[in-house]
Amino acid sequence: MTNPKTLPDEPGTRTRLINAMVHTLQYRGLHGAGLSEILARAQAPKGVLYHHFPGGKTALAVAAIEATVSFSCAMLDKLMQGHADPAVGLRAWIARAMGGLGESGFERGCPLGTVALESTAADVEIRQALCAGFAAIRGRIAAALAAAGHDAARAEGVAALMVAAYEGGLLQARVANDVGPMLQATETLLSLLDQPAPGPKDPPCKESP
């Protein structure tokens, strides 16, 4: 989701390893770089990796996914806090993602999206982390919409569409070097928040005997 250049500063090798994996997932994907490259970026010996992550590269990838989700949820909370209209915060969230993509020359993708595309049925732990992560981000958005007075079911639907537009928009922007479709999709989606929710349908008329 929101693409951190690095995660919040915390001293220690474990955090450097996670940051290195996040960077790798953003630029190269899960299978695009070997452990040697990740360890070099983290300035960590191989033995330290297995000390912190006995499951090796898979466990490190799961930790990077979870850290990215935590960062994204915190960023959403920060951007939407204090706004009566959650669309203001969501627009800022989208703008931040588009700005980061442009700064990287359209090379830095979303860690969650890149890994989701690469994962297979054999990547059980990774897919579980991704599933939980996407659900957490949808939940953050839906909660903000519900708090602003939107019906719970509508809030959940808009949140699901927003995450889909975010991920799909980043993928399209990355390959086309153009954020236009992402901006168009998200603005169209956010405009739905200004429209009243559909009311219950009238029951069908009964024919007179």
Residues 6+ apart with CB under 8 A from 168: 182, 185
Please state, in angstroms and rounded to a whole number, the distance separating the CA atoms of residues 53 and 70.
19
Per-residue pLDDT reduced to its tens digit, 44-93:
998 899 999 999 999 999 999 999 999 999 999 999 887 789 999 999 99
Q: Residue 134 carries which side chain, given as an amino acid letter?
A: F
With bands split at pLDDT 50, 70 and 90, how would you rate the model's confidence at 104? very high
Domains detected in the chain:
64-193 (1.10.357.10)
DSSP of 159-182? HHHHHHHHHHHHHHHHHHT--HHH
Q: Which two tokens stand for residue 168?
A: 């799909």
pLDDT at 186 over 60: yes
Residue linked to tokens 């990547």 = 123
Please state, as a whole number, how many other Cβ atoms lie within 10 Å of the Cβ of residue 208. 4
pLDDT for the residue 84? 83
Residues 6+ apart with CB under 8 A from 119: 30, 126, 127, 130
Mean pLDDT over 190-208 rounds to 63
With bands split at pLDDT 50, 70 and 90, how would you rate the model's confidence at 4? low
